[in-house]
Structure 1
Amino acid sequence: MTARFRPMLRAALAAGLLAGTLMMPARSDAASPEAEVEAAVDELTRAILAADGTALDALVLDGLSYGHSSGAVQDKAAFVEALASRRSSFPSITLSNRTASIVGDDAIVRHVFDGETVSNGKTVPVHIGVLQVWHREGGRWRLLARQAFKL
């Protein structure tokens, strides 16, 4: 290639690279709202397994309605106290068939909950369906309601 064509070739390559860059979709490192609420569900699961009262308190809203598959319903204080005191504990939890849908600042999360619970010294296997309602407040997701049901 002769020296007189090199500047034109450089200009054409630069224009092509610029055009390709401008046509690429914008890259975002931010997680989707669905991914964020799924992360909150995972954080809640870890806090339940660890019986971490401080983390549980931070992850649920004051108006929490926590429904069990037995029909019992707990408010925030009763939910946190039962786990933090280890009156109820969960040695294992596995969540499957997970879905999350976002509606404004709220999220509807469904999953199948498998694991074990220990209550009054008795270990019982658990296999239930769960519906959770999460609310985004101050940029973070917190649990507002949960209802479990027998499968």
Structure 2
Amino acid sequence: MPVSRRSLLAALAAAHLLSAAMPSARAAGPEAEVEAAVDALTRAILAADGAALDALVLDGLSYGHSSGAVQDKAAFIDALVSRRSSFPSITLTSRTASVVGDDAIARHVFDGETVSNGKSVPVHIGVLQVWHREGGRWRLLARQAYKL
């Protein structure tokens, strides 16, 4: 995936914002760090920011949709960056996070709107995410959405 100067600058800005939030998250514990990572991922999805998405997910990503479709890292990022799929709005509620060592489970209800192939559809799903701490930062390893 080619990286433009603009996307590199956007990624650096996102990393700076995330690192600025992390000291207060660390003070509140690892669960707050995971929540901050979930928020950073949500912002990157909304912005279709390929560089930020690349930094937030592991190479072995398994990204499951409520339809049953599963994407790897490249397909997940490409669908968003190419705008084949986009999210004009996302709201996360009923959020929980639990940490066991270098792994974490985050759950939430995902409400929003998706635009796929030019068609806008409301979204109301449950989501389970598995995060792994690598090099002191949380990165997404797996995500599975399910119908509510």
* TM-score bracket for the superposition, by shorter chain length: 0.7 to 0.9
Which amino acid is the alignment partner of residue 108 of structure 1?
A: I
Bigger helix fraction: 2
Looking at structure 2, the residues matched to 48 and 128 of structure 1 have their Cα atoms a distance apart, in angstroms, of: 16
Which amino acid is the alignment partner of residue 106 of structure 2?
A: V
Q: TM-score, with normalisation over the residues of structure 1?
A: 0.80
The correspondence for 1:68, drawn from 56, 60, 65, is: 65
State whether structure 2 residue 94 is matched by structure 1 residue 97.
Answer: yes
Aligned pair count?
Answer: 123
Looking at structure 2, the residues matched to 70 and 30 of structure 1 have their Cα atoms a distance apart, in angstroms, of: 38
Deviations 1:43-89 (A, max 9, x none): 00000000000000000000000000000000000000000111100
State whether structure 2 residue 133 is matched by structure 1 residue 136.
Answer: yes
Query: Alpha carbon RMSD of aligned pairs, Å?
Result: 0.8
Secondary structure of the structure 1 residue equivalent to 2:27 = coil
Query: Which runs of at least 4 in structure 1 moved beyond 4 Å after TM superposition?
Result: none
The equivalent of 1:16 in structure 2 is none
The equivalent of 2:121 in structure 1 is 124
Looking at structure 2, the residues matched to 131 and 45 of structure 1 have their Cα atoms a distance apart, in angstroms, of: 14
Looking at structure 2, the residues matched to 123 and 80 of structure 1 have their Cα atoms a distance apart, in angstroms, of: 19
Which amino acid is the alignment partner of residue 80 of structure 1?
A: I
The equivalent of 1:30 in structure 2 is 27
State whether structure 2 residue 54 is matched by structure 1 residue 57.
Answer: yes
The correspondence for 2:80, drawn from 80, 83, 86, is: 83
Task: Using the TM superposition, give the Cα deviation of residue 41 of structure 1 relative to its aligned residue in structure 2, in angstroms.
Answer: 0.1
Q: Which of structures 1 and 2 has the bigger CA Rg?
A: 1
Secondary structure of the structure 1 residue equivalent to 2:75 = helix
The equivalent of 2:40 in structure 1 is 43
The equivalent of 1:109 in structure 2 is 106
Task: Using the TM superposition, give the Cα deviation of residue 30 of structure 1 relative to its aligned residue in structure 2, in angstroms.
Answer: 2.6
> Aligned residues: percent identity?
89
> Which consecutive residues of structure 2, in runs of 5 or more, have no partner in the other structure?
1-25
